[in-house]
């Protein structure tokens, strides 16, 4: 179980050099910090299903399969090009008459949802892989401000309604 468990628990990110837009060699990944993210049981189940599908594809490809350390690969096992997901998402959006969105927007959405639902900024910062909490605070200042207002309103509601019910006032 440990090999499969590790496979599901550690998603490798494709690291992209801005100048060449090519995948960085796996040996160079050590130069970068890899962020580990805890996955929900539901996500792990989806990853198990994906892994089974990938193993079936590997059997069908036979000798043409290219072994790699990447979780998400092309049909032959080779690494995805960094722009593959962006292109797929653009086509999907057009096909379903949705506004354009890039994959990085999902990261911002996830962070904003976590902050607005009370996850502390240190945890969110670590999940995003920011080296400084202040980076997260700067990027998500508007969400943090909204959360502060909600928290203030919640406290006022608790104190007001709580004191009115108990007669302590």
Per-residue pLDDT tens digits for 94-131 = 999 988 888 888 888 889 989 988 899 999 998 888 88
| Residues whose CB falls within 8 Å of the CB of residue 32, separated by 6 or more in sequence, listed in order | 15, 24
Task: Report the C-alpha gap between 107 and 110 in whole angstroms.
Answer: 5
- Residue 6's pLDDT is 42
- Residue 49's pLDDT is 93
pTM: 0.61
């Amino acid at each position: 179980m440990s090999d499969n468990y590790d496979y599901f628990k550690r998603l490798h990110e494709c690291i992209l050099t801005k100048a060449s837009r090519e995948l960085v060699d796996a040996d160079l990944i050590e130069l970068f910090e890899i962020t580990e993210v805890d996955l929900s049981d539901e996500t792990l189940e989806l990853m198990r299903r994906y892994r089974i599908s990938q193993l079936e594809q590997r059997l069908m490809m036979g000798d043409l399969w290219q072994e790699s350390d990447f979780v998400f690969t092309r049909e032959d096992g080779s690494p995805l090009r960094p722009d593959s997901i962006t292109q797929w998402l653009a086509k999907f959006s057009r096909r379903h008459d949705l506004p354009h969105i890039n994959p990085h927007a999902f990261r911002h959405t996830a962070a904003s949802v976590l902050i607005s639902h009370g996850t502390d900024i240190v945890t969110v910062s670590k999940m995003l892989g920011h080296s400084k909490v202040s980076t997260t605070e700067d990027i998500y200042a508007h969400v943090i401000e909204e959360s502060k207002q909600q928290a203030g309103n919640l406290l006022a509601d608790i104190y007001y309604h709580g004191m009115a019910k108990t007669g302590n006032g």
